[in-house]
Amino acid sequence: MAADALFGPDAPRIRTIAPGTAFVRELSRALAAETSLAQRPDALADAIIYVPNRRSARALSLALFDAAGGETLLPPDIRALGDLDSGEPPPVAEQALSGIAPPLSGTKQLGEITQLVRGYYRNALRMDLPPASALSSARELLRLLEQAAMSETADWSKLADLNPGADLAAHWSRSADFLKIVTEYWPARLAELGATDPFRERIRAATALADHWREKPPGGPVIIAGSTGATPPGRILMRAVLGLPKGLIVLPGLDTWLNDKQWASVIKAPGHPQNTLIRTLMALGRSPDSVAPWPGISENGQARARVRLIHEALAPAEDTADWRATLENLARASAQPIEDFVRDGLTGLSIANTPNEAAEAEAAALLMRETLEQEGKTAALVTPDAGLARRVSALLGRWGIRVAPSAPVPLGRTQAGSLIGLCARWAADPGEPAVLASVLKHPFVRRKMESGKLDLYFLRGPRRWGSLDDLAHSIDTRHQLELHAPFRREDQDEAILLVQRLGQILEETDGDFSLLPSVTADQAAKRVADLAGAISETPLPWAGEDGAGASNLLQRLADLGPYLGEMSPGSFADLVDAEASQPAGADRRP
C-alpha cells in the first residue's frame, strides 16, 4: 500500500489540508487519483461525503467532475453536514433512522415562540408588543435554545439559583421571568403539540446514524471534509467515522506544529482560529501530531515560512513575549538564517494606509482588477467587514466584473427586497409623497411609469392631500395656489393620469390598506405581492436569486400570519422592513 493511500487498515484516519490551499480542488484531486476516477466513473458511487454546507457540496460535485477529466461519472452521496446544524429538520436519511416524528419546521418554531413572547408581554407587562419586535425577540430566544442544546452542558434548572447581587435583583428577576418562555412555556407547548425538541432532535438524528453505521458499516468510503467539528452532531458523526473501515476526516488548516504548551494556550483562548479544531481533536481522543498531511501537496519555502509566521502572529498574547527567540526557533526548524526565513514569509506582503472606507474599498477593487487583467491570475478579498466586501463588489461591477460577496446580503439591500418594502409602506398610505416618489423611481418601476412631472412639480413641498384622489384634485387646482407656476396645464394632465393609473392598480390588487383598521400578515403579504407585480416590469420582482428571496419572505410572513394576528397597516410595513433586514437565508433559519 502506498504511503499516501487514503483508505486501508494502516492509513491515517484524520488528515488536514494546509491553509492557503484550494481545499475542494485538492480534496477532489486526491480522491480521483486514489480511486482512478477518470478510468472508473463509478469508483465513488458508493461513497458518502459530508461537507460543511450546500454551497461546498455544489463546489465539490463540480470539482470531482473536473478531476475526472470532464467525463460523465456517478457522483458520491454528498451531504451538507450543516443540515444537522441548521434550523430545518434533519435530512431524510438521518431523520428516518432516529425513529421520532419530525420536529416543527423553522417557521412554526418561530411562530410558536412569537406567540409566547407576545403572551408574556400582555400578561406580565400589560402591553401589546409590535409584531416586528416580537419576531426579533423570538429569534433571539430560538438562538439561545439552539446554543444551549448544542453546548450539551446547559442546565436550565440552575437558572433560578443564580444570584447576581442585590444591585441587579430587580433586573435579574425580570430577565429570569422572561426566560421562563424557554425553560417552562416552550417545553409545555411542545408537549401540547406532540412535537419533539427541534434542536435536540439533531443530536438524536446524528446518534441514530452513528449507531446504524456501527451495526451496518457502509461498504464505501465515508468522509467528513472541511468541518471543524464545532457542534455535537458533527462530533458524533466524526467519532463514528473513525470506527468505519473506510472512514476519513479531513480537517481544514490544522496547525500540526503546535507543541504541548501552545496547545494548552490555544485551548484557553476561545477566539483563536485553532481553538475549535483542537477541542475537536480532544473530543476524538487525538493530538495534533497524530494528524497526517493531505497527500500530494508540496509547500515551497516561502509558503511554509508564511504559514508559520501567520500562525505565530495569531498565537495567544502570553506566548508572544519573546518574538526574537520564537523567530530563531522557527528559522532553525526550517534550516534557514533568521533573516532569510522572515524575508521568505513576508515576500509579497504590503500595507496600504487609506484615509477612509471609500478609499479602502477603491484600493482593494483596483488591486483585484489589476490582478484579473493578467492572464492566469486570480484574486480574493478576505475581510471580516461585510460592508467593505459589498463596496468592493459594487466597484468591480462598474467595470463589468461580477463578484458577489460570500457574506449574506440583507434582502432589503437588493432591488427585489427594497421594492416589496416600499410597496408595503405605500399600501399603508398611498398618498405619502416620499414613499410614492421612491416607488416610482425604483429601477423595476421607472421604465414602466414615467414620474418626472408628478415628482418634479406636485409631490415636493408640504403635503396638502390625504388619498390619491385628493392628490389628483390638488394637482388639478394647484395653479390657484401658485400664481407663477413653473408647470403647464399639459403637465398637470399628465400627472393626474399617472395618479389615476396608480389608483387603478391599487384598486385591482386590493393594495390600499389605508382605509382598513387592521390587516393580517397572510392577507397583506398576498396583496403586497400582487401590488409589486402589477406596478413593475414583469417578471422583474421575482426573477433570480433576489426575486426568490423576496417571494420567500412574503411566503414566510403569510405562514406566520396565524401566529401574529391582526396589526395596523403601518405595523405590517415595519414587519416587512424588519424581516428584509435579516441576512439572506433567514427563511431557512430562525
E strands present in 290-424? 292-293
pTM of the model: 0.78
Query: At residue 190, what is the residue type?
Result: L
Residue 280 and residue 288: Cα distance in Å, rounded? 10
Residue 119 and residue 123: Cα distance in Å, rounded? 6
- Name the 3-class secondary structure at 50: strand
Q: Count the alpha carbons within 13 Å of 423 in the hemisphere toward its beta carbon.
A: 32
Phi, psi of 290 (to 5 degrees): -90, -5
Q: Which CATH architecture has domain 14-87+203-293?
A: 3-Layer(aba) Sandwich (3.40)
Distances (CA, A) of 419 to 65, 446, 511, 558, 583: 39, 12, 14, 18, 17
> Smallest Cα–Cα separation from 561: which of 579, 582, 545?
579
Give the H or E element holding residue 48. Answer: strand 48-51
On whether the CB atoms of residues 523 and 572 are closer than 8 A, the answer is no
Locus of grid cell 508540496: 298
Strand order in the sheet with 77-80: 77-80, 48-51, 222-225, 247-252, 14-17, 292-293
Q: What is the per-residue DSSP string for 342-357?
A: HHHHHTT------SSH
- Residues across the chain: 590
Q: What is the pLDDT along the chain (590 residues), one digit of tens a residue?
A: 444 689 888 889 999 998 878 899 999 999 999 998 888 989 999 999 999 988 889 999 999 999 988 888 898 999 988 655 444 444 444 544 455 556 778 889 999 999 999 999 999 889 999 999 999 999 999 999 888 887 767 777 777 676 655 565 667 778 888 888 988 899 999 889 888 887 778 888 888 889 999 999 998 999 999 999 988 889 999 999 999 999 999 999 898 877 777 788 888 888 888 889 999 999 999 988 889 999 988 766 677 788 778 777 777 777 666 777 777 877 887 778 888 888 888 888 888 899 999 999 999 999 999 999 999 888 889 888 888 998 999 899 999 998 877 777 789 988 999 999 999 999 999 999 999 999 999 999 988 888 888 988 899 888 989 999 999 999 998 876 666 778 888 889 999 999 999 999 999 999 999 989 999 999 999 999 999 999 998 777 898 888 999 999 999 999 999 999 999 999 999 999 999 998 655 444 43
Handedness of CA 205, 224, 146, 92 (dihedral sign): negative
> Smallest Cα–Cα separation from 235: which of 56, 8, 14?
14
Q: Give me 581's grid cell.
A: 433586514
Report cis status (omega within 30 of 0) of the bond before 539. yes
Pairing verdict, β 519-520 and 566-567: antiparallel
